[in-house]
A and B are shown apart, each in its own frame.
Chain A
Amino acid sequence: DVQLQESGPGLVKPSQSLSLTCTVTGYSITSDYAWNWIRQFPGNTLEWMGYISYSGSTSYNPSLKSRISITRDTSKNQFFLQLNSVTTEDTATYYCARWGLRRRYFDVWGAGTTVTVSS
């Protein structure tokens, strides 16, 4: 079974950077698929943030483009989210999810990790 698990600090100060890790087990992130970050705000709105594909190419939500970076460590089968200059509006539950580049749907999600931005 493919499993995704998010990890990282639950509290970040405003203006700092938010860094999260998604650890993937049961499937190599270099084999296929795009590996995504999605967040759910209080109030339940979902926002797709971006992905890194199996080849290493990235795609980002234009609303975040100046602040976001998604990278990976193929030796650890992990991918990462960095979001710079956070504000309280970045408080959300962050999910990693797998996207089928040909099937075109999210088929596996992590359980999510809640990040609060507060001083």
Chain B
Amino acid sequence: EIVLTQSIPSLTVSAGERVTISCKSNQNLLWSGNQRYCLVWHQWKPGQTPTPLITWTSDRYSGVPDRFIGSGSVTDFTLTISSVQAEDVAVYFCQQHLHIPFTFGSGTKLEIK
């Protein structure tokens, strides 16, 4: 089973700050089928259901603002919010889909000062 580690459980930042959230895999997430990494970032806002934010490591889901940037390769992946807004308060978790069982990171809770 692929294990995803999000080492920082929570972050508190001021609006406008840049935030990076890390997700590390214990296996290479490269899919040979398209040479892309099988890593998704989800955003889970309070009182809502999770929504996809970034797919295939770096593709923004439809409607996602460009302040959300996904990057990384092999086993190390990062979600960057270039300028945090109040509406970004949420839990951010990564998820891999290279191998069954799909697995999730433990999540990073983002709060605003």
What is the CA–CA distance of A62 and B103 in the complex, to the nearest angstrom?
A: 12
Query: Chain A 85-119 against B: per-residue CB contact (8 Å), 1 yes, 0 no?
Result: 00000000001000000011111111110000000
Assess whether A48 is in contact with B103, with CB atoms less than 8 Å apart: yes
Contact A59 B100 (CB under 8 A): yes
Interface size on A, residues (CB 8 A): 20
Q: Is B24 an interface residue (CB 8 A)?
A: no
| Total inter-chain residue pairs, C-beta < 8 Å | 48
Determine the main DSSP class of A at the interface with B: mixed
> Does any Cβ of A come within 8 Å of B106's Cβ?
yes
Q: A42-55 vs B: 1/0 string, CB under 8 Å? A: 00111110000000
Report whether A111 and B107 are in contact in the complex, using a CB–CB cutoff of 8 Å.
no
CA distance A95 to B51 in the complex (A): 13
Query: Does A63 belong to the interface (CB within 8 Å)?
Result: yes
Q: Give Cα A26–Cα B97 distance, bound, in whole angstroms.
A: 26
CB-based contact A109/B50 at 8 Å: yes
**A35, chain B: closest CB distance, angstroms:** 14
Which residues in B have some Cβ–Cβ distance to A below 8 Å?
1, 38, 40, 42, 49-52, 55-56, 61, 91, 93, 95, 97, 100-104, 106-107
